[in-house]
Structure 1
Amino acid sequence: MTDVDAIDPNVPPSGAGCVECDAVGGWWFHLRRCASCGHVGCCDSSPAQHATAHYKATGHPVVRSFEPGEEWFWDYSRDELYESGPELTPPAHHPANQPAPGPAERVPADWARALHK
């Protein structure tokens, strides 16, 4: 596993969706949760890529998927995937009724064309 000093298992997630996208009425493809501070940001396939921007702004290197059924971690500083890691403070994912992409009411009809590949 990655450097455990980069993970604080006691910090809850910042919310059910990407903090920055929610602030401006944006949308996301998938969500990532910072393992250091709980910040929830959108993934690199999302139009705004807020999870990576959070890493670059804060230096917090480790995120965990914030998608139902996914428990993997990503370490930006090492460019490495970890299939598992320590349990984090619940919830472990966004609400199950929240679709991906989401939130449903803000996703454009041509959303797939806006994804980063």
Structure 2
Amino acid sequence: MSTLKFTEDHEWLRVEGGVATVGITDYAQNALGDIVFVQLPEVDAHFAAGDEAAVIESVKAAGELKMPLAGTVVEVNTALADAPATVNEDPLGAGWFIRIRLDDPAAVSGLLEQAAYDKLTA
């Protein structure tokens, strides 16, 4: 079973087993505007929670995907190189950025549930 969690920095995680798919929320993509470039990390790169894991450039601003939890990148969404607007079109689906093997899967419990994230962005 997958679980969707959120961070206060507007990232989402869908956790399945010890692997999390990570992207930015609809709120974040809307705030950034039309995304024109995404720079993803290398597979096997390890990040601590809070580290910048990817660069996002839009017509309005530059931003970053912060690593929500510590882990190692096991897959990147290479389709974003040619179609970065996918993040705008489907931020919680095809617009995912990376998949990470979590150092501590139990740390997911410290992230926000949907209702708490909705309150944050209301």
TMscore range, shorter length: under 0.3
State the TM-score, normalizing by the size of structure 1: 0.26
